[in-house]
């Protein structure tokens, strides 16, 4: 085992603080990544605070990890020392089920192994995330990061990026489509960039008028205030797709009205309560709701390569690790444009 420095939570009520923990030593197929930056996802907060079920403490959060490979196992073939590398939301899966074989490891029938607060397969060892100095991962689950001078802004692509890229690709969003993005946060700002980049005409739907200028800067052609009945009425039946990133309880029927016939709501946010859906809203126009969760390893690599080619990165605020608790409070208030990224040099 290797002793590692990190930041994490020791109980649901504790602040995120410095602590040491152990990672398993590097195996034949593993790469050891010196972590340079780690994005801060709302999931980190939910998990650290046991808001999604009791966590297994200590929790070292962080699943938007980028860094540089500093060691490789004897049988590693995809990476060499010095390569940039990334780690996303999961670090292993069964590798044999239909989903794994199709490159849909995130839907693995035995369950993916999450990057933190998980257990390695057939092992009593826990996974610890990216608020730390190093990560050790099987090369099959690590991503290549194309050469860049914006490495910090790439980190959030590993979760916020792929979570929005994948459903837009799955739904074949492109030229000529009218796409609404609901919610301008970490996911929403990436959704606007991707949908616009794929050729769609994007409308940002937000509860906050102050976000209009930013939405347009990010690539939205239009902005509408979802709290204004007149604006909502004017958009009825307009959209081919709504990418719904909102994780708070909200009126989904009002949004379904905005879809045209055969329109699809792509759902990536998980509100805390059941969504209330009027069956008639779906039936009367053959509309559908499609869920989507992050993306597989191959598609995540495709997304990273696409972003490199199209100069797409996340909009970020870089923070010191000592400011992580303040960052959590600001995330809860939606006071971040649009993702915090920890500079891991400050560990």
**Under rule CB under 8 A, residue 287 binds its own copies:** yes
**Under rule CB under 8 A, residue 298 binds its own copies:** no
Question: CA 47, CA 251: separation in Å to the nearest integer?
Answer: 26
Phi, psi of 188 (to 5 degrees): -60, -40
**Under rule CB under 8 A, residue 100 binds its own copies:** no
Question: CA 216, CA 200: separation in Å to the nearest integer?
Answer: 14
State which residue, 225 or 282, has the beta carbon closest to its own copies: 282
Question: CA 133, CA 337: separation in Å to the nearest integer?
Answer: 25
**Under rule CB under 8 A, residue 280 binds its own copies:** yes
CA atoms in the 13 A half-sphere facing the CB of 208 = 11
Q: What is the DSSP letter of 344?
A: G
Give the range of 23-31, 98-106, 116-124, 226-234 binding its own copies by CB under 8 A.
98-106
Question: Could you give the residue ranges of the DSSP H alpha helices within 102-249?
Answer: 151-154, 160-170, 186-197, 212-218, 229-234
- Contact residue for its own copies among 13, 283, 309, 311 (CB under 8 A): 283
* Cβ burial, residue 73 (10 Å; 0-12/13-18/19+): middle
* Cβ burial, residue 310 (10 Å; 0-12/13-18/19+): exposed
**Under rule CB under 8 A, residue 285 binds its own copies:** yes
Question: CA 142, CA 144: separation in Å to the nearest integer?
Answer: 7
State which residue, 127 or 244, has the beta carbon closest to its own copies: 244
State which residue, 259 or 342, has the beta carbon closest to its own copies: 259
- Contact residue for its own copies among 276, 325, 326, 329 (CB under 8 A): 276
**Under rule CB under 8 A, residue 277 binds its own copies:** yes
Residues 9-48 that bind its own copies (CB under 8 A): none
**Under rule CB under 8 A, residue 221 binds its own copies:** no
Q: How many residues bind its own copies (CB under 8 A)?
A: 34
* Cβ burial, residue 71 (10 Å; 0-12/13-18/19+): middle
State which residue, 5 or 102, has the beta carbon closest to its own copies: 102
Number of Cβ within a 10 Å radius of residue 147: 8
Closest CA to 16 of 53, 37, 47, 39: 47
Helices 160-170, 297-310: inter-axial angle, 10-degree rounding: 100
Q: Whole-number minimum distance, CB 194 to its own copies, in Å?
A: 18
Q: Whole-number minimum distance, CB 199 to its own copies, in Å?
A: 21
- Contact residue for its own copies among 15, 22, 109, 228 (CB under 8 A): 109
Give the range of 218-226, 279-287, 303-311, 325-333 binding its own copies by CB under 8 A.
279-287
**Under rule CB under 8 A, residue 94 binds its own copies:** no
Q: Whole-number minimum distance, CB 320 to its own copies, in Å?
A: 33
**Under rule CB under 8 A, residue 5 binds its own copies:** no
CB 269 within 8 A of CB 245: yes
Residues 167-186 that bind its own copies (CB under 8 A): 170
**Under rule CB under 8 A, residue 50 binds its own copies:** no
- Map residues 223-262 to x or -, x wherever contact with its own copies holds by CB under 8 A: --------------x---------------x-------x-
State which residue, 99 or 312, has the beta carbon closest to its own copies: 99
Give the range of 56-64, 200-208, 275-283, 323-331 binding its own copies by CB under 8 A.
275-283
In sequence order, the 6+-apart residues with CB closer than 8 A to the CB of 70 are 32, 33, 34, 81, 134
Tell me the residue length of the chain.
347
Residues engaged in binding its own copies (CB under 8 A): 98-99, 104, 107, 109, 170, 237, 253, 261, 267-271, 274-293
């Amino acid at each position: 085992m290797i002793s590692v420095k990190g930041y994490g939570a020791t109980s649901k009520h504790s602040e995120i603080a410095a602590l040491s923990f152990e990672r398993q030593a590097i195996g034949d197929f593993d790469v050891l990544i010196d972590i340079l930056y780690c994005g801060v996802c709302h999931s980190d907060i939910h998990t650290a605070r046991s808001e999604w079920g009791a966590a297994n403490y200590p929790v070292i959060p962080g699943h938007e990890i980028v860094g540089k490979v500093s060691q490789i196992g004897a049988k590693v073939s995809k990476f060499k020392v010095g390569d940039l590398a990334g780690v996303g939301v999961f670090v292993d899966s069964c590798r044999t089920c239909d989903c794994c074989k199709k490159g849909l490891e995130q839907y693995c029938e035995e369950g993916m192994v999450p990057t933190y607060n998980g257990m390695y397969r057939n092992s009593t060892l826990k996974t610890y995330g990216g608020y730390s100095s190093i990560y050790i991962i099987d090369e099959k689950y690590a991503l290549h990061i194309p050469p860049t001078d914006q490495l910090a802004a790439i980190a959030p692509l590993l979760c916020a990026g792929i979570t929005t890229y994948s459903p837009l690709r799955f739904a074949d969003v492109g030229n000529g489509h009218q796409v609404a993005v609901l919610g301008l946060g970490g996911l929403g700002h990436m959704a606007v960039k991707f949908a616009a980049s794929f050729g769609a005409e994007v409308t940002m739907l937000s509860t906050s008028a102050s976000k209009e200028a930013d939405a347009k800067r990010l690539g939205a052609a239009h902005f509408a205030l979802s709290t204004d009945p007149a604006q909502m009425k004017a958009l009825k039946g307009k959209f081919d797709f709504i990418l719904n990133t909102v994780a708070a309880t909200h009126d989904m029927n009002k949004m379904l009205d905005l879809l045209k016939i055969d329109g699809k709501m792509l759902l990536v946010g998980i509100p805390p309560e059941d969504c209330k859906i009027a069956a008639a809203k779906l039936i009367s126009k053959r509309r559908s709701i499609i869920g989507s969760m992050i993306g597989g390893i191959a598609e995540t690599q495709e997304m990273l390569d696409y972003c490199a080619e199209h100069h797409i990165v996340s909009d970020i605020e870089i923070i010191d690790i000592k400011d992580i608790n303040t960052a959590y409070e600001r995330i809860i208030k939606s006071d971040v444009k649009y993702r915090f990224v920890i500079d891991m040099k400050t560990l």
